[in-house]
Amino acid sequence: MAGQVSPGVEPPGSVLVLRRTSGLLPAEPGVYRFRDDLDRVVYLGRATDLRVRVRSYAGDLADRPHLRRMIPQVARVEALVCASVPEAAWLERNLLQRTLPRWNRIRGGTELVGWLVLDEDAGRPALRLAVEDAERPASAYGPYLGVERLALARSGLLRAWPVHLAGTGLDVADRSLAEARGVAPADLEAHVRRLRGVLRREAGAVAELRTQLDLASRAAVARLAFETAMQIQAELAAIEWLVAPQRVTGCAPGLVVSGSADGIGFTLKGTDGRLDRWTSGQADAAAGARAAASTPEEWREFTARNAELAAALSAARA
C-alpha cells in the first residue's frame, strides 16, 4: 500500500516528495495539484488543511483505493492557499470544470450552486433560495456552493429575522405565526436591513446574527429542546460558510492575478467571472514584476504569499 514500507527500507520517491512537501504547506485551506515526471497535472484537490491533506497521500489510502495507483506517479506538488474553505471549494470546482486531470473522476464536483433572493415586497416579503439560473434575478446574493448548506443558512437567517412574517398580505396561517412570534409589518424595514447586511458580509450584522442564534440555542437547551438546539448549531455552521470570504467566483470578468518570487511564478486567469486557469513555472524577474504590478491591489497579499509558497516548493524539489 502507498506509504507503507518495511523497517529500514527507503520509502518510494513519490512518498518522500509528499512527506517533504507537506512540511512546507500551511495548516490552512487551499487547493493542491500533483504533477508527474513529465510535468503533467495528474490530480487536483482541495483541502481544509493543506499540510494534513497532502501528507495523507503518503499513508496507506485505505479509504481511497483508486488513488493508490496514482501515488508512484507524483513527482512534485503545487499548492495555493485560499482565504477560506469555501474559496478553496470554489477554486477547485472552477479548475476541474476547465480541465479534468487523469486521476480526478468528476468535472467540477457534485455540489449544486444556489443563490439567496431577498424580496422586499411589503405585502409578501421573502428570503428564498434559487437553484437554477432561470430563477435568479440580477439582485440575488451569491453564488453559494452547496444547496443543502445554503438552505440551513437561510433557515438560520429567518429564525433570527423572520422577514416572511412581516408582510401586510399574509394568509391566516402566517398571520397566526407572526402573532405568536411577535412580528409585525413595522419590523419589515429592520429585518431587511439586517438580512442585507449579513448577505453583504457586514461585520456588525454577522456578529448580531451569531448572537441571536447563540441565544436561541441556549434557550432551546434550557427547555430541553435538544433537537432544536442541534438544528440551530447546524444553522450557525452554515452561516459561517455563507459569510466566509470567497473571491474566485463572481469576480471581475477577465481578472488576472499573478505573483512571482525567486524566479518562480504563477498566474490565475478568469473566464466569465470565475478564476479557472492556473499556470505556473519559471518566471523572468522583470516579467514577473510587471505581471504582479498589473494585479489588482486587493489581490496583492494573496499573490505575494502564494508566490513565496511556489518558490519554496520548487526549491524543495531541487
Number of structural domains (the chain) is 3
Distance CA 225, CA 178 (A): 21
Domain that holds residue 308: 250-318
Task: Give 9's pLDDT tier (boundaries 50, 70, 90).
Answer: very low
Residues 134, 82 share a domain: no
What pLDDT does residue 12 have?
A: 63
- The alpha carbon of residue 36 and the mean position of all alpha carbons in its chain are separated, in whole angstroms, by 27
Whether pLDDT at 206 is above 60: yes
What pLDDT does residue 65 have?
A: 84
Residues 239, 119 share a domain: yes
Three cell numbers at 264? 518562480
Taking residues 65-86, report their average pLDDT.
94
| Nearest alpha-carbon partner for 154 in 50, 242, 266, 270 | 242
- Count the neighbouring beta carbons within 10 Å of the beta carbon of residue 158: 17
- What's the Cα-to-Cα distance from 205 to each of 162, 213, 243, rounded to whole Å? 15, 12, 11
- Tens-place pLDDT, residues 145-162: 999 999 999 999 999 999
Q: Pick from 84, 109, 134: which residue ends a domain?
A: 109
For 288, list phi and psi in degrees, rounded to 5.
-65, -40
Residues 96, 27 share a domain: yes
Q: Pick from 185, 215, 243: which residue ends a domain?
A: 243
| Nearest alpha-carbon partner for 31 in 89, 108, 102 | 89
- Count the neighbouring beta carbons within 10 Å of the beta carbon of residue 301: 11
Residues 100, 6 share a domain: yes
**The dihedral of CA 244, 246, 252, 253: what is its sign?**
negative
Taking residues 288-298, report their average pLDDT.
88
Q: pTM higher than 0.85, yes or no?
A: yes
CATH number at 34 reads 3.40.1440.10
Task: Give 64's pLDDT tier (boundaries 50, 70, 90).
Answer: confident
Helix (H, G, I), strand (E, B) or coil at 57: coil
Residues 59, 38 share a domain: yes
- Tens-place pLDDT, residues 130-148: 997 777 888 899 999 999 9
- The widest CA-to-CA distance across the chain, in whole angstroms, is 77
What pLDDT does residue 132 have?
A: 76
Residues 117, 89 share a domain: no
